[in-house]
Every structure is written in C-alpha cells, then in structure tokens.
C-alpha cells in the first residue's frame, strides 16, 4: 500500500470514531524514521483509546504493519507506530500543550492540509 492510501485508511478510521482536528504532517524531509505524522484529538480518554484501537484494527485488516502502541493506560495521549506513519491521538489540552504541529515545523502547512482534508 502506498503512503497516500495508508494515510486515507488511517484518516477514515479516525473519522469513523468521530476524531476531531485530524492533521497530517509530511515529515519525510525532517526525519528518516517515518514519512508522515497523523495527529487527532478525542473528547475523552475513552474516545482516544477507541480511536487508536480502530486505527489498529483497520490497518491489520488491510494487512499493514502495526507496531507498538503507547499511552493507552491513561488515554491522554496514545501513540501508534505504523512504520512509515506515526499516529498521535490526544486530548485537546494535551495536544495544545505539546503542540506537535509547531514542534515538527509544520505550522501553516499543517493547518492548510487539515483545512483541505475537510472540504
């Protein structure tokens, strides 16, 4: 599966469980560890865990690599390693505090990608 198809599958899995503010960052030029980062918000700890679980299930059903998952014990910030894609599912306050979009230097490009995905 190519990277764009994988991203579509991940975003669809997040939207199935009503993720908020889904953003896709192209990190390929910033690190060799992964090509994309997907960041989404959930409205509760239960929802963040459910969002992460749905992403894992959909990726496994598609026969794609699913690595470690971190943070499910609290659900404040769940990270899923999908090889060339890293998924962060966070509570809004945690997401605002860590501000991964700015940290990864995406800023306006990330918001533009997010807006385009919604329309």
Angle at 107 between CA 105 and CA 108, to 5 degrees: 135
Which residues fall within 8 angstroms of residue 41, CB to CB, at 6 or more apart?
19, 20, 21, 89, 90, 91, 92, 95
The band of 102, judged by pLDDT with boundaries at 50, 70 and 90, is confident
Distances (CA, A) of 60 to 72, 89, 115: 18, 18, 28
Q: What domains lie within the chain, and their CATH numbers?
A: 3-118 (3.30.460.10)
* Whether the predicted pLDDT of 4 surpasses 50: yes
pLDDT digits (tens, 9 = 90+) for 35-71: 899 999 999 999 999 999 999 999 999 999 999 999 9
Segment 73-96, tens digit of pLDDT: 999 999 999 999 999 999 999 999
Residue 110 pLDDT greater than 50, yes or no: no
% of the chain residues with pLDDT over 70: 87
pTM attached to this predicted model: 0.85
Using the predicted structure, report yes or no on whether residue 116 has a pLDDT greater than 70: no
Q: Is the pLDDT of residue 28 over 90?
A: no
**Helix or strand or coil: residue 51?**
helix
């Amino acid at each position: 599966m190519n990277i764009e198809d994988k991203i579509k599958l991940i975003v669809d899995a997040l939207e199935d469980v009503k993720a908020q503010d889904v953003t896709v960052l192209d990190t390929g030029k910033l690190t060799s560890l992964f090509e994309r980062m997907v960041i989404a918000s959930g409205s509760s700890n239960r929802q963040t865990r459910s969002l992460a679980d749905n992403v894992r299930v959909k990726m496994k059903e598609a026969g794609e690599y699913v690595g470690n998952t971190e943070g499910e014990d609290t659900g404040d910030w769940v990270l899923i390693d999908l090889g060339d894609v890293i998924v962060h599912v966070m509570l809004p306050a945690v997401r605002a505090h860590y501000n991964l979009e700015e940290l990864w230097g995406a800023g306006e490009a990330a918001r533009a990608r997010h807006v385009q995905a919604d329309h």
